[in-house]
């Protein structure tokens, strides 16, 4: 069982930056594809970014490309979401997710979420 714990959310002004962290309990974290999703009030959860376990290739939603990055540190079992140039529309609960490498489709494991609020 993989447990994920997010941290780093908070309140920031538009144009500011935040770095979210997601610590995984499982020591085979390095073999998991990791992703970040978000859900704004009244909206469905949406994909933000992902990073592949083997080649560290990344993918981003169009709305965050060029502003967000998703580095991972396998030695610390941690994946990050570096958010720069934040906009009020980035306000949401952000969730970390994991699925075993080599699989596709839905993510198997989810964190509890961390709130990000961007003021205008």
The CA distances from residue 102 to 52, 55, 74, 107, in Å, are: 9, 12, 17, 12
- Average pLDDT, whole number, for the chain? 94
Quickly count: other Cβ atoms within 10 Å of residue 115's Cβ.
Answer: 12
Residue 27 has pLDDT above 80, yes or no: no
Position 43 confidence tier, pLDDT thresholds 50, 70, 90: very high
Which pLDDT score is estimated for 26?
73
Percent residues over pLDDT 70 in the chain = 100
Q: How far apart are CA 16 and CA 79, in angstroms?
A: 20
pLDDT tens-place string over residues 73-101? 988 999 999 999 999 999 999 999 999 98
Position 50 confidence tier, pLDDT thresholds 50, 70, 90: very high
Which pLDDT score is estimated for 102?
82
């Amino acid at each position: 069982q993989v447990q994920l714990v997010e941290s780093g959310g908070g309140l920031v002004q538009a144009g500011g930056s935040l770095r979210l962290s997601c610590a995984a309990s499982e020591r085979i974290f390095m073999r998991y594809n990791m992703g970040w999703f978000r859900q704004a009030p009244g909206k469905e959860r949406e994909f933000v970014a992902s990073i592949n376990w083997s080649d560290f290739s990344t993918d981003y939603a169009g709305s965050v490309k060029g502003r967000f990055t998703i580095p991972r540190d396998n030695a610390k079992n941690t994946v990050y979401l570096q958010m720069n140039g934040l906009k009020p529309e980035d306000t949401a609960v952000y969730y970390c997710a994991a699925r075993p490498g080599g699989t596709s489709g839905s993510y198997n494991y989810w964190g509890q979420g961390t709130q990000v609020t961007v003021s205008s």
